[in-house]
Structure 1
Amino acid sequence: MAPTLSAPQVPDPMQAPPVRWGVLGPGGIASTFAGAVRAGTRSMVVAVGSRSAERAAAFAGRHGVERSYGSYEDLVADEGVEAVYVASPHSEHHAHALLALAAGKPVLVEKAFTRNLAEAEEVLAAADAEGLLAAEAMWSRYLPSYDVVRRTVEDGTLGDVLLVEAEHAQLLWPDGPERLSSPDLAGGALLDLGVYPVAFADHVLGGLDAVRASGTLSDLGVDVTTTVTARGPRGGIAHLWCSMGAATACPATVVGTRARLELSGGGSFYGSGASVHLVAPDGTVLDEWVPTVTEHGFRHQVAEVARALAEGRQETWSVPWDATRRVMATMDEVRRQLGVTYPGE
């Protein structure tokens, strides 16, 4: 019998218990989050906070949010908020996560979790000390497609995994958002785009070491294009790259001794519209998994956080603390080799 993909076992997000969310930072990704909460879960966004009362009020109006605040302090103090989604720029994740945790609120922090491993350790230590959940919003790792990949690899269908290839390139520089160009905002391709290939390789291989990186930097000293090779704990090699100076189809491949997985479609390997194909060495497609729902991919991370909170856990299954630590450590080493540093590091 021909080998097949392992089926995902991700629960229906609509079956997760409801959580009352506060959104810290009303930017574009927060709008995506709020839309997914409303359309794909039983949870709700009940409050939003910004340094600008006007921006917070505008966000609240667009998304039907009850309360808006002109400060982050007021948001995290809201007694009706059960969990805080930190959607500020990378440079502020550390301070804003600590602010919410100090107010007794569990946090879901956008990727990259922080600027570096040292900041991540401080956030996780604070969560541990307070007995609160802290989770990284690497939304792709919560998707059913990633569960298909993980289970298929673990079931041995591919044989020994020899290679993971993944790329993420979007044309966002030099005319894109300021946050990507600015060292003050922890800009560059790696933390914004490269985190997807790095996290995918970590997901498949269970960690990365022997990291080797090269790349090109902007005139302000952030990375524009970065390539990474690394090795997993069982010998598999990762070949990863990212760029904010060009655009590609953003595919990914997991190559084993018996078969390979190809992730593509829907705009990227990491998106909720991506399909997973099981391919024989001769190129024959043996099996495929195609998502039945491609909208509101953030709903899966929202639901998993809700389940973790209901069960009294401080970590999510899809992105445990050790995974966040490993990814941050890898990106620290990449930046060290590239010579990219941020103010205050």
Structure 2
Amino acid sequence: MTGTPDPLGWGILATGKIARSFATDLALVPGSRLAAVGSRSETSARAFAEAYGDGRTRAHGDYAALVADPAVDVVYVATPHSLHLDGSRAAFRAGKHVLCEKPLTLRASDAEELVRLAREHDRFLMEAMWTACHPVIRQLRRELASGRFGTPRHLAAELGFRVDAPPTDRLLAPELGGGALLDMGVYPLTLAHLLLGEAEELRAVGVVTDGGVDLDLAIAGRYPGGAIASLHASMTSWSSRAAALATDLGRIELEGDFHHPTAAVFTPVGRPDQRVVLTGEEPVVGRGYGNEIAEVERCVRAGLRESPLVPHAQTLTVLRQLDALRADLGIRYPDD
């Protein structure tokens, strides 16, 4: 008789807001546990371990100790964008698998380096694009591929909120990859890729500060089969966070925040009584980070080195799009 496998040991690198959300959902995934947490401050690491750990969770006052911890199987990199490359590189060199926050790196060339390192060290690597792992989005992609809802023609998606923060805040720091494009724009771009395929043409206009930070932007895209997209991201206004896809048979609306929706609703034109509501073929775990965590666990236990839901090629494609859109907007990061 085969016993229950030992829980996968997770190490969380950094203790900010996204790390806290992730740790909350991690506790809901039966095959995983928080083995350790690392911060540049031992006080912060200890407080995080006490708040989200299981009594055995170790706290490390530096990142090097976290990735070296033998109880850690997978490192979740939750630092600002500009530190993703260094954190992931250190984890690979320590023999760990990596789940790294989105976008994977500041630029596509750095992401290509991480993919190379993952292969060199024979470790799993996945960008933490929880939207691609979300049950509603996965079911919607399957239904679109079947042709049930017709041919996609136009996707509209927007994500934004007002950022009231000092100039030193991460979101307003170009050296950390701050700005609407990488923090918000990556979501509608990824949604368009998931639902429409790889973009054939993208153009961006926006508002950029004198310091080189993009505050608001609009992206127009052309996709396979003649589909188009209107995508928006903002750090100065409260968007609807909605997305809708028009097809030649009707309209699909994502309910709630589109990047982690509660449902996808297809309404055929002229036949509202025949609408179809998709809520996913499996439950949403926590806020949805749990589904992402479960996908990493599944892949690692199966010996996979990338996820079919968030393959390396998809991550690199979207990052190359971000690079090109930054060029449109005239945004440069250090080391570009």
- Same fold per superposition (TM over 0.5): yes
Indicate if the aligned counterparts of 1:48 and 1:69 stay in contact, CA closer than 8 A.
Answer: yes
Q: Deviations over 1:104-151 (max 9, x none)?
A: 111000011110101100001110111111001011110111112101
- Percent identity between matched residues is 36
Structure 1 residue 25 corresponds to structure 2 residue 14: yes
- Please name the residue that 2:173 is paired with: 182
Structure 1 residue 93 corresponds to structure 2 residue 81: no
The one-letter code sitting in structure 2 at the alignment partner of 1:324 is T
The one-letter code sitting in structure 2 at the alignment partner of 1:32 is S
- Please name the residue that 1:229 is paired with: 220
Distance 2:169 2:6 in 1: 37
Distance 1:238 1:63 in 2: 40
Distance 2:269 2:202 in 1: 28
Deviation, structure 1 residue 255: 1.6
Deviation, structure 1 residue 17: 7.6
What does 1:295-314 correspond to in 2, within 5 Å?
A: 295-314=286-305
What does 1:110-149 correspond to in 2, within 5 Å?
A: 110-149=101-140
Structure 1 residue 155 corresponds to structure 2 residue 146: yes
Closer, same or farther: CA 314–283 of 1 in aligned 2, 3 Å: same
The one-letter code sitting in structure 1 at the alignment partner of 2:101 is E
Query: Which sits farther off after the overlay, 136-145 or 251-260?
Result: 251-260
What does 1:4-83 correspond to in 2, within 5 Å?
A: 18-64=7-53, 66-83=57-74
Structure 1 residue 105 corresponds to structure 2 residue 96: yes
- Please name the residue that 1:8 is paired with: none
1:205 to 196, 204, 207: 196
Distance 1:17 1:138 in 2: 26
- In the alignment, structure 1 segments of 5+ residues that lack a partner are 1-14
Structure 1 residue 332 corresponds to structure 2 residue 320: no
State TM-score, norm by structure 2.
0.93
- Please name the residue that 2:243 is paired with: 252
Query: Which sits farther off after the overlay, 206-215 or 35-44?
Result: 35-44
Indicate if the aligned counterparts of 1:254 and 1:262 stay in contact, CA closer than 8 A.
Answer: yes
The Cα RMSD (Å) is 1.9
Query: How many residues are paired up?
Result: 328
Q: SS of the residue aligned with 1:88?
A: coil
Closer, same or farther: CA 296–214 of 1 in aligned 2, 3 Å: same
Indicate if the aligned counterparts of 2:285 and 2:291 stay in contact, CA closer than 8 A.
Answer: no
State TM-score, norm by structure 1.
0.91
Distance 2:200 2:100 in 1: 25
Distance 1:136 1:247 in 2: 27
Indicate if the aligned counterparts of 1:98 and 1:123 stay in contact, CA closer than 8 A.
Answer: yes
- Please name the residue that 1:286 is paired with: 275
Deviation, structure 1 residue 233: 2.9
Distance 2:52 2:139 in 1: 33
- Please name the residue that 1:275 is paired with: 263
Q: SS of the residue aligned with 2:224?
A: coil
Q: Deviations over 1:161-185 (max 9, x none)?
A: 1111111011124559811100111
Q: Deviations over 1:199-257 (max 9, x none)?
A: 10010112113111000012321110011111223321121010011112211112211
Indicate if the aligned counterparts of 1:16 and 1:306 stay in contact, CA closer than 8 A.
Answer: no
The one-letter code sitting in structure 2 at the alignment partner of 1:46 is A
Q: Deviations over 1:8-64 (max 9, x none)?
A: xxxxxxx99831100001111111111101024431111011111111111111112
Q: SS of the residue aligned with 2:221?
A: strand
- Please name the residue that 1:11 is paired with: none
Q: SS of the residue aligned with 1:225?
A: strand
Q: SS of the residue aligned with 2:184?
A: helix
